[in-house]
A and B are shown apart, each in its own frame.
Chain A
Amino acid sequence: MSRVFVVDDEVAVREALDSLFRSVDLKVDLFASAAEFLQYMRPDGPSCLVLDIRLPGVSGLDFQDELLRAGIRIPIIFMTGHGDIPMSVRAMKAGAIDFLAKPFRDQDMLDAVAAALKRDQQMREAESANRALREAYERLTTREREVMALVTSGLMNKQVAGELGLSEITIKIHRSHAMQKMKARSLADLVRMSESLGLQAAKSRRP
């Protein structure tokens, strides 16, 4: 279930947004301040943050930085009392989805929220694929990782065998084990996975 988090110090605005989002079957959580939001244990699932740029204590923009630094990646839609171009530029550069001036059209807000949720969904999918890959990679033996790294860097089996000082047949066995464990259907598949994992072929230890 998609969720929208609203952070605004103005109760009237919070309540209005709550009603608007619920009318299109979105789950809503309301917060009066950034601190309240940080304390809240967010349930897992696609979500986005609708944030007033002027907040008591800490400004919306500073809060955006704070979230980035804490590694909390959540799409943000900013609201502002009056259109402020430098502010909006900064917000968009830091990855905001949209920047809406109050009062905004409901459709604009809903479109922005839909876009944000879609972005979060994609991020989440990419993240979970990556996580699965990493788990599989963790299961490889040291030798299998070495073989995978060298093979995906473009070396022939024979060259790998030479590089590692092993027989070609042994390399083939390791390679096939690695592909099975990584659930790679082809060598090309394995190369893509290796790129996703950010692997780099270990430099030849022998010159």
Chain B
Amino acid sequence: MSTFRLRWWPTPPAVLAYGVAILSVTAALALALLLEAWVQSAPTVSLFLCAIMFVAWYGGLGPSVLAVVLATVYFTLFMVEPTGAVAVDGHDVPRIVLFILTTVFVILLSAAQQRNAQELVRVNKALLAEVAQRRRVEAYLDEAQALSRTGSFGWTPASNDLFFSKECQRLLELDLDQRPSFDDILARVHADDRPMVHAVRERSDAGQPDHDYEIRWRALAGTTKILHVRAHRVRLQSGEEELVVAVMDVTAARRAQEALHATEVALTHAARVATLGEMSASIAHEVNQPLAAIVTNGAAGARWLDRQPPDLGEVRSAIERMIRDAQRASEVVQRLRALARKAPVERQPIDLNEVVGDSIAFLQREIQTRRIVLKSELRPGLPPVVADRIELQQVVINLMVNGMQAMERVSDRPRLLLVRTSSETGSEAGQAVLAVQDSGIGLDSASLTRLFNPFFTTRPAGLGLGLSICRSIVESHGGRIWASTNEGPGATFQVALPLSTERIA
């Protein structure tokens, strides 16, 4: 670090300064007298002024005033006739006064110069302190950016100026020597994400101040990074607009999220298949019934044909029934396959009532076998919800099967299962609510709080995953699931899902 120095020595002590003042002026006098003696002409005034300037520069105001006084005395004594006396001739007065004025002027000039110099030193010191502070802040910022894997850059659209933070440079793997332009940056964005960046830029140009999006970035190693970008438009004091952009490397987080999601999907699917397994008997029955009807219709048709004369009307209706029954069997198989399928989750506006209807159809046999009295109160004209049909059906089936299982040991009252849909007003406005109410053994308060935890079950054979999977499905749809005990016997499970703003496609 370099410091501007006014002098290359420290301020001298006062005694030394005054001593130097006396010595300097006396030395100037001696030199003047010597020159006078040798060459009969001496620059006396100049010599004195030199001495005074030196004292002012070296010792400051006090010593220089002393030097002036001393020089005036010497001047009067030795340079003005009669020499050796303080007495002065009238015509010499202007000379002496001019001399005094000159010296005073020199002192004032020197003092002003020194004040300026001191001010300069002070300002310089402050500037250096600020630079140090800024460097520290910058170092902190670099550290913090590296730690949080967040880089930042500024972009002035008008001048197309780009400034990158160190971390940003590292994150984006940029070579700043090449002075990358906006288009160079854009070229590194994954081709599929470029239209999005353009769209963001358009919105920004249209005046939207904040942006938050994710892009895929081509790393130099040929891999792809996932970057979370947040941008904010600021107006600088100069009136220029600048976009301040923070870039976070969320690749690891996204990969973990994807892995978690894949696990969740697999678990959800496994639970669905397990549910199907539990209901395999009723499912087999569901398929077997139409098959039995088809076989019998075929046999009957053949017998009508064999009659003399053949009754073709009966044959035709037997064939028509066979077609109808085969279609029904195929529908059952399709419903099954849909539930067993490992399909990617697909959200779209769907009719909750329709999903409930499908679930009831699917469980029809189970409902009969378990001697359940099913009541459904489906609110007509329910606005659609945004959901994955299969996952939502899984939730409905799961809640209904749970309700039926809760009534397994009930024999002193009807096994009533009520399925109700509604769209809420008030605090739950903008949501569709599904309620599944049973008249079973109910829930104690301890169970109520742990009900949706994984591996919590009240059934000896239960895995305890059904409700926890229901919860993760519902929550992934931005909804809420909860249970409550009824005033009478049994419990009620409810699911609230946000309504779609679109109509069903």
Contacts and interface: CB of A to CB of B under 8 A. Distances in A.
Interface of A: 9-10, 12-13, 15-17, 19-20, 22-24, 54, 56-57, 79, 81-82, 102-106, 109
A102 B292 CA distance: 5
A54 B371 CA distance: 11
Contacts of A9: 368
A81 B281 CA distance: 9
A17 B303 contact: no
B297 interface: yes
Interface in B312-349: 314, 317-318, 321, 324-325, 328
B324 A54 contact: no
Interface of B: 281, 284-285, 288-297, 299-301, 303-304, 307, 311, 314, 317-318, 321, 324-325, 328, 368-369, 371
B284 A24 contact: no
A103 B291 contact: yes
20 contacts: A10-B289, A10-B293, A12-B290, A12-B324, A16-B292, A16-B321, A17-B296, A19-B296, A19-B318, A19-B321, A23-B300, A23-B314, A56-B368, A56-B371, A79-B292, A82-B281, A103-B296, A104-B295, A106-B295, A109-B296
B300 A102 contact: no
Given A13-B296, A82-B284, A102-B291, 4 more contacts: A12-B324, A13-B293, A24-B303, A103-B296
B128 to A, nearest CB: 93
B295 A103 contact: yes
Given A13-B292, A81-B284, A23 B307 contact: yes
A199 B371 CA distance: 48
Given A82-B284, A82-B285, A19 B292 contact: no
A102 B291 CA distance: 8
Nearest to A25: B307
A15 B318 CA distance: 9
Contacts of B290: 12
What are the 8 closest A-B residue pairs judged by CB atoms, nearest first?
A: A106-B299, A102-B292, A12-B293, A16-B296, A23-B303, A103-B292, A103-B295, A19-B300
B374 to A, nearest CB: 11
Nearest to B302: A106
Tell me what chain B mostly uses at the interface: helix, strand, loop, or mixed. helix
Nearest to A15: B321
Nearest to A11: B293
A58 to B, nearest CB: 9
Contacts of A103: 288, 291-292, 294-296
Q: Which of B292, B311, B371 has the most CB of A within 10 A?
A: B292
Contacts of B317: 19
Contact of A81 (B285, B297, B307): B285
Contacts of A17: 296
Contacts of A20: 296-297, 299-300, 303
Contacts of B300: 16, 19-20, 22-23, 106
Contacts of B293: 10, 12-13, 15-16
A10 B304 CA distance: 23
A123 to B, nearest CB: 27
Contacts of B371: 56-57
Nearest to A16: B296
A39 B298 CA distance: 32
A19 B368 contact: no
A10 B284 CA distance: 14
Contacts of A79: 292
Contacts of A57: 371
Contacts of B292: 13, 16, 79, 81, 102-104
Contacts of A24: 303
Nearest to A14: B293
A58 B293 CA distance: 22
A19 B289 contact: no
Given A12-B321, A12-B328, A15-B321, A106 B296 contact: yes
Nearest to B329: A12
Contacts of A102: 288-289, 291-292
A14 to B, nearest CB: 9
B292 to A, nearest CB: 4
Nearest to B328: A12
B413 to A, nearest CB: 16
Q: Which of B281, B288, B296 has the most CB of A within 10 A?
A: B296
A51 to B, nearest CB: 14
Nearest to A105: B299
Contacts of A22: 300, 314
Contacts of B281: 82
B474 to A, nearest CB: 32
B396 to A, nearest CB: 22
A13 B285 CA distance: 12
A22 B301 CA distance: 11
Nearest to B296: A16
A23 B304 contact: yes
B250 to A, nearest CB: 54
A104 B297 CA distance: 11
Contacts of B321: 12, 15-16, 19
Contact of A19 (B294, B304, B328): B304
A81 B289 contact: yes
Nearest to B285: A81
Given A81-B289, A104-B292, A106-B303, A19 B284 contact: no
A23 B303 CA distance: 6
A16 B328 CA distance: 15
A157 to B, nearest CB: 63
Contacts of B324: 12
A57 B369 CA distance: 8
A173 to B, nearest CB: 62
Nearest to A10: B289
A22 B285 CA distance: 26
Contacts of A82: 281, 284-285, 288
Contacts of B285: 54, 81-82
